[in-house]
């Protein structure tokens, strides 16, 4: 399944990661592309309401919030996770971008 970013800020974030972290993120995105709806824990988790988080582990904990829409995967928001929970501001931003699609 094809993956698209909803904003260039996500591309900038991914390109700004260190080489090891970026390679790991791209590996997880390939898994998402290959397995789409079938991908599950520990790689992906539902956030409900049509949103999912791609859980990239390693030295840095990277999260990419995404959704499925019209046969594509849209990356809505990407960030370094520093706390146990996803911050409300990160989730709200992803929801706002999601609402632009539907």
3-state SS assignment for residue 81: coil
Residue 84 has pLDDT above 90, yes or no: no
Beta-strand relationship, 2-5 and 72-80 = parallel
The pair of three-digit structure tokens given for residue 24, joined into one six-digit string: 């790991």
Q: What is the model's pLDDT at position 59? A: 85
- Average pLDDT (22-46) is 92
Range of the structural domain that residue 12 is part of: 2-101
Percent of the chain with pLDDT over 70: 100
Contacts of 34 (CB under 8 A, 6+ apart): none
CATH number at residue 21: 3.30.2310.20
Tally of domains within the chain:
1
Q: What is the model's pLDDT at position 56? A: 93
Contacts of 38 (CB under 8 A, 6+ apart): none
């Amino acid at each position: 399944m094809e993956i698209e970013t909803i904003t260039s800020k996500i591309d900038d974030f991914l390109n700004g990661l260190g080489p090891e972290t970026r390679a790991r993120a791209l590996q997880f995105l390939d898994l998402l592309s290959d397995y789409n709806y079938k991908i599950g824990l520990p790689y992906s988790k539902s956030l409900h309401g049509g949103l999912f988080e791609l859980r990239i582990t390693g030295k840095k904990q990277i999260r990419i919030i995404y959704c499925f829409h019209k046969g594509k995967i849209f990356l809505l928001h990407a960030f370094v996770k520093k706390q146990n929970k996803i911050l409300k501001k990160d989730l709200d931003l992803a929801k706002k971008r999601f609402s632009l699609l539907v």
